[in-house]
Structure 1
Amino acid sequence: MLDTISFAQKQRLAYIDFCLLFKGAIYRQDLINRFEVGLSAGTRDFNLYKELAPRNLSYNSCDKRYFQTPEFKPLFEHDAKRTLTKLANDISDGFDAIGDIHFPVEAPSSLNVPDIFIVARLVQAIINNKAVSVIYTSLSSGSGARVLVPHSIVDNGLRWHVRAYDRKSQSFRDFVLTRISKVTIKGTPEEYEQARADTEWQRLIPLQLVPHPKNVEHPTAIEMDYGMENKQLLIEVRSAMAGYLLRRWNVDCTERATLLGAEYQLWLQNRFTLNNVQNISIAPGYRKD
């Protein structure tokens, strides 16, 4: 039947599917507001979705919204790479599931793509402020059960992580999505486990980046690459993300710009700003004084 309906209605059905998968619920008004359709058209879309996937959703008359059922199986195929990118940019249009226009743009290959259902469970937990029980495989201790309180999905340029409070270590940490093999949503977390208590996430630090004084023969080219003003780029990043950005951009973080090589085109001029940053060891050349 999906092959016989219009593109516009297929998109709306994909949006219902998307919301059920990643949010766990959807109001009828969400669909109406997102696509600017009338109440009767929105009702028809939900009725058609129920006809196509009757075991995917149930209506709660008290909350006046549809919820994902335990038997839920996506009606559409949601591409993991593109969905993660859209989630990171707060886009949820359902287009991925029905065949977006493919633009001739390529990106470097990343490591293994996370399981879309693992991502969906974590996003549900974040949106609904819930803890999760997971099976996680770490480099140091192997596979084991952990209880996490996730608050953000993070792209570090190479892998996707979830930023979460870890009840085992009693600290906020980053967990690689591809190392999570099972997610079960649990109860509501304590205040000290939530995002606002994650000081490294909430704290913004200034970075002053300039063309590398030893490796770059024509600094104007680097200034143009990064849109620098007055020969420098001033940005603020979350303390928890600083190391990732500096490694991704190959920023020389030594005190006197001593890293040599064409890959080091930027130098961190105010390296002292990293003194109180945790997990900064991955920043190129950085050593605590």
Structure 2
Amino acid sequence: MLKTDTDRRAWLIELISYWEGGINATGLAALCGIGRQQATKDLSAYRERFSTNLSYSPSLKTFQPTSHFICGLISGDVAEYLDWVSGQRAPTTAGSVLPYQCLRHPPRKVAAPLMRKLIQAIREQRRIEVDYVSLSNPDHEGRVIVPHTFVNTGLRWHLRAWCEKSRDYRDFVLSRFRGEAELLDLSFQGVDQDVAWQTQIELILAPDPRLSPAKRNVIEQDYAMANGFLQLSTRAALANYLLQEMQVNYKMLDGTPEAQQLILVNLDEVRQWLF
């Protein structure tokens, strides 16, 4: 976690130098809205901390990553860099940002007063009475739940909660709550009692075996697979969402292997946790 502005600038030094190939005091100052002297101090402090990561190029007047560069503050996942690039609000120079386009999901309406009570219920581990609609029950249906976590599944936000009607932990789509909510008393049904949430499982994926060896190799390279397999660790409660995001159809194979691409190898082991 980046606790201070100094921490964030150190992270930014590493992020930009690693993915863009270099950074200097002028660029850092412009990006962070600080003076050049402070930016120079930040670069010096970073080099003292990670002495083998950057070397100075007098001709380019830029600190560049060395062949011994080791990620100390960043993950090394390009998504981290792209998320930062797409989130910049006011790039100061044409060279500080790459052209990009982000897909935007349609907004889901959630009433602010309801959200405030859901947040309070989570923080205080309280029961809360809500009205909820679903495709199976499109009419308003009163429920008493004990929420513990908000979950972003990629396309929409869910709320993980104990449901007194179902006597189980369920996922509730935030945009399907209706009306007002009423906070009730405390409950012992918290996150610690959610077995599916507390259980970690491994999903083992592999290229569709119907693909040719050359095409399987493409998929293996896409996901940096080891020995032809991709192993993903996830909470059991989130396994289905992860498979959906990976576009893994485990119920039936797509007729076209190029469309299927990935299969779930250990389906029998994790089936109990899937919808």
If the TM-score is normalised by the length of the shorter chain, which range does it land in?
0.5 to 0.7
Which residue does the alignment assign to 2:132? Answer: 136
Distance 1:215 1:180, change over 3 A: farther
Which residue of the partner structure matches residue 153 of structure 1?
150
- Structure-2 separation of matches of 1:143 and 1:264: 38
> Does structure 1 residue 113 correspond to structure 2 residue 100?
no
2:219 to 214, 219, 222: 222
Deviation at 1:153, TM superposition (A): 0.9
Scaled by the length of structure 1, the TM-score of the pair is 0.55
- Deviation, 1:243, is 1.2
Q: Is the 8 A contact 2:206 2:263 kept in 1?
A: yes
1:72-113 residue CA offsets vs partner (Å, 9 max, x unmatched): xxxxxxxxxxxxxxxxxxxxxxxx9xx944876443332442
- 2:209 equivalent among 201, 209, 213: 213
Instruction: Report the Cα distance in structure 2 between the residues aligned to 1:230 and 1:183, rounded to whole angstroms.
Output: 53
- Once residues 167 and 159 of structure 1 are traced to their aligned partners in structure 2, the CA distance between those partners, rounded to angstroms, is 24
Asked if the contact 1:172–1:198 (Cα under 8 Å) also holds between the matched residues in 2, the reply is yes
Structure 1 residue corresponding to 2:181, chosen from 181, 184, 202: 184
In 2: Cα distance, 1:134 partner to 1:199 partner: 23
The RMSD of aligned alpha carbons is 2.9
Structure 1 unaligned spans of 5+: 1-7, 9-95, 282-289
The percent identity for this pair of structures is 32
Pairing of 1:1-289 with structure 2 (within 5 A): 100-101=89-90, 105-115=100-110, 117=112, 118-141=114-137, 142-184=139-181, 186-191=183-188, 193-215=189-211, 217-253=214-250, 258-261=253-256, 262-277=258-273, 280-281=274-275
List alignment gaps of at least 5 residues for structure 2. Answer: 6-86, 92-96
Aligned to 2:56: none
Contact 2:132 2:140 in 1 (8 A): yes
How far does residue 220 in structure 1 lie from its aligned partner after superposition?
A: 2.8
1:100–1:182 distance in 2 versus 1, CA, 3 Å: farther
Paired amino acid for 2:260:
Y
CA shift in 2, pair 1:129/1:180, >3 Å: same
**Residues in 2 aligned to 1:105 and 1:179: alpha-carbon distance in whole angstroms:** 32
User: What displacement does 1:181 show?
Assistant: 2.1
Distance 1:270 1:259 in 2: 18
- Structure 1 CA distance for aligned equivalents of residues 119 and 90 of structure 2: 26
Check 1:171–1:101 CA distance in 2 against 1; reply closer, same or farther (3 A cut).
Answer: farther
TM-score, scaled to structure 2: 0.57
| Matches of 1:105 and 1:125, distance apart in 2 | 39
Contact 1:161/1:177, CA 8 A, preserved across alignment: yes
Aligned AA (2:117): R
What secondary structure is seen at the aligned counterpart in 1 of 2:108?
A: coil
Contact kept? 1:130, 1:187, Cα under 8 Å: yes
| Structure with larger Rg | 2
Taking a change above 3 Å as real, the CA distance of residues 177 and 119 of structure 1, as seen in their structure-2 partners, is: same
